[in-house]
Amino acid sequence: MPADPTILAPVASGDVVSAEDIRDRFQELENFVNGGIKQSDLKVGPSFTDEEKKIFTTRHIQKPEFYSIANTRVQGVSADIFYRNRFLSSFNRYVRHEITGNYNTGSDGFSESDLNALSHEAWTPIDGMSTTVVVKGTSNVSAFVNGSLYAWAGGGSDNIGTKLKERYSDSGAGGGAIPNDVQRSASRRITQCGKYIAVFVLYVDNLDGSGPQRQDSTHRRLYNRGERSYPFRKTQISFADRVTLTPGPNKISYRCIYRMVQDNSIAFKHVFIDNRNFFVDVHYK
């Protein structure tokens, strides 16, 4: 039936409307709009005829979104779907700076165990790759999380600064720079190109008091670019995972941490995370 007319009772001139009355009215509207509409409220008869069914079209149905392989096999299922889609635009670029959430490796290099020991608070959610899912009902449900992003490092500096024209000449010989400087700077660039600069992982917080839980199978890494010398280090990162959500709100976020040898490492610059996709398919039944 429609909203309760006793709660949404008409008022007359001079009536005083209390704050509680306003709250009750909006509560009733929310209850009606969010799940309170019955078939008797629809402009149809006691049973749906074929003609009456046309009042609903496909646009009313939760849009099925699926990541699939690059062929025509796409199967849609009706589910609760949360998605983010960021198109190519510098305004949508997400930049990781080293000033927050970084992890210093020192000269010992990348340590998986050190990384795993970090608190979830050390990992920063990537803009556009987080969502809160409110699970209805009383049962745990499975959610299928898919994400992809295009990430690359700014490059850093070799701290010697030889210019290209100094390194090479048309004759094929060195272009004037001191040979050891050329070798030394090349060595630095190539060394930095072989180091990871950022790490990514999915966290799921069921808000049960245990905090965000790391989903290990979504762990991905990004290499540095060695003063922009190695464009092939620009990387497409993707993952798919199945997680369990509990009734009530659940927070899901794909997070990043910036890795440096030490705080003042100039061989590392920023991490750019450009095009992102983030899908969470919640299967209720």
Partner 1 sequence: MPYIKVPEFQSNEIIDPDQFNDAFLPFTNMNLDGENFMDQSLGPDQIPANISLTDTSNITRTVNSFGSQSINMQTDFTFDPLQSTSSSYSGIRKSKVNHPGLNHIKLTGLEAGEKFIIRVSCAIDIQDGGWRTYYHGIPPYFKIGLVQFPGESSADLTEGSSSALTKPLHSTVAHYRVAFTGKVPSASSISQEASLEHDPNTKYLDQNYNSDYSYRDNRFGEDGEDYDPRTNKSGMPFSGYHSYTTAYLHEQGVGDNSTQAFGVMCWFGGQSRGMESDGDSGGIDGCRSPSKDEPAIIRDFKLFVYQVKK
Task: Determine, following the binding rule CB under 8 A, whether residue 179 of this chain makes contact with partner 1.
Answer: yes
Give min distance, CB of 251 to partner 1, in A: 19
Q: How many CB atoms lie within 10 A of CB 36?
A: 15
Residue from 122, 124, 125, 144 touching partner 1 (CB under 8 A): that is 144
- Write each residue from 146 to 165 as x if it is in contact with partner 1 (CB under 8 A), else as -, in one continuous string: x-x-----------------
Query: Which of 238, 248, 256, 237 is CA-nearest to residue 282?
Result: 248
Is 227 in contact with 193 (CB distance < 8 Å)?
A: no
Task: Determine, following the binding rule CB under 8 A, whether residue 246 of this chain makes contact with partner 1.
Answer: no
Q: In this structure, which amino acid lies at residue 237?
A: I
- With CB under 8 A, what is the number of residues at the site for partner 1? 86
Query: Which of 168, 226, 161, 153 is CA-nearest to residue 193?
Result: 226
Give min distance, CB of 48 to partner 1, in A: 12
Phi/psi at 179 (5° precision): -50, -40
Cα 123 from Cα 127, distance rounded (Å)? 12
> Quick one: which segment of 116-124, 161-169, 226-234, 244-252 binds partner 1 (CB under 8 A)?
226-234
Is 215 in contact with 201 (CB distance < 8 Å)?
A: yes
Residue from 123, 223, 254, 279 touching partner 1 (CB under 8 A): that is 223
Residues 65-84 that bind partner 1 (CB under 8 A): 66-71, 73-75, 77-80
Nearer to partner 1, 8 or 118 (CB): 8
